[in-house]
Amino acid sequence: MLVIIRPNKEVASIQAAKIVADQVRRKPNSALGLSTGTTPLATYAELVRMHRDEGLDFSGVTTFNLDEYYGISREHPRSFYSQIHKNFLDHVNIRPDRAHIPNGESKAIAKTCAEYEDAIRAAGGIDLQILGIGRTGHIGLNEPTSSLASRTRLKTLSDETINDNSKISGDIPQVAITMGIGTNLEAKKILLLAFGEAKAKAVAKAIEGPISSSCSASALQMHRDVRFILDEEAATELRHRSYYDRVVEQTKRYAPELLGGTND
Ligand code: PGA
């Protein structure tokens, strides 16, 4: 696990975008796992800029969104379909037939979820999964007590998540289709982004707490290639801060590619 702490969310997001861009350059037919919410917005904006100004080519890329509210149309402005289109997909050259988002209007939920898992497998698995973290420690919408082996399925949102997400976008459904924690753990690489002090407790539990379904993100401790990219505020509850900084220093020396090539 690499814990990369940057002075602010802007610098952190640019670094995250470099890591994603590097993945796409090294493997142009990568499958990327995308998340929505406010956290990855600056990373997407930087990827869009790289596409526009530097010709970063997404034409071979496949994407899988983590989750989608259940029971609203995809055209609804609060759907994750609308959000990822508005903030990323509409501005890069990812082929529409390769951009996968769970169908929040499906009348056959179990089938839809199984087919989503099949599509991920058919794409060869997710090469790089971008994750945020909720105040509850959720990844995707795997709320506390989600099975650490869970797969894509319908989940009921916690009160905290309903409150947090409604503050941003107004009333939202109580349920969502989300990739499971087991699905996430099969991604070859994972980038978890967290910014702001509201996330500090969840981040510390995820990185330094026991592996427990009480904090879904703690399951990432079992993943071989996970990088947490944090701003200072999200890092305030970490006990081993100075160690993480030393690890990043040595990584810069010996494996700078893990940091997106540069770390300045
Ligand atoms: P946020 O949500 O980026 O809007 O804070 C993150 C999450 O709930 O996973």
Q: What is the predicted pLDDT for the residue at 22? A: 97
pLDDT, averaged across the chain: 96
What letter represents residue 112's amino acid?
T
**Shortest-distance atom of ligand 1 to CA 196:** 5
Q: Which of 249, 211, 248 is nearest to 228 (CA)?
A: 248
For the chain, what percent of residues have pLDDT higher than 70?
Answer: 99
* Dist. CA 254 → ligand 1 center (Å): 32
- Structure confidence by residue, pLDDT tens digits, 136-195: 999 999 999 999 999 999 999 999 999 988 887 778 899 999 999 999 999 999 999 999
pLDDT at 264 over 60: no
- Structure confidence by residue, pLDDT tens digits, 197-218: 999 999 999 999 999 999 999 9
* Dist. CA 253 → ligand 1 center (Å): 32
- Ligand 1 pocket residue status of 38, Cβ below 6 Å: yes
Q: How far apart are CA 184 and CA 125, in angstroms?
A: 10
Tell me, yes or no, if the pTM score tops 0.85: yes
Q: Which of 134, 146, 144, 161 is nearest to 69 (CA)?
A: 161
Q: Which of 78, 177, 193 is nearest to 129 (CA)?
A: 193
- Ligand 1 pocket residue status of 133, Cβ below 6 Å: yes
Mutate to test the pocket of ligand 1, among 9, 36, 38 (most ligand atoms within 8 A of CB): 38
**Shortest-distance atom of ligand 1 to CA 36:** 3
Q: What is the predicted pLDDT for the residue at 263? A: 42
Handedness of CA 210, 215, 216, 218 (dihedral sign): negative
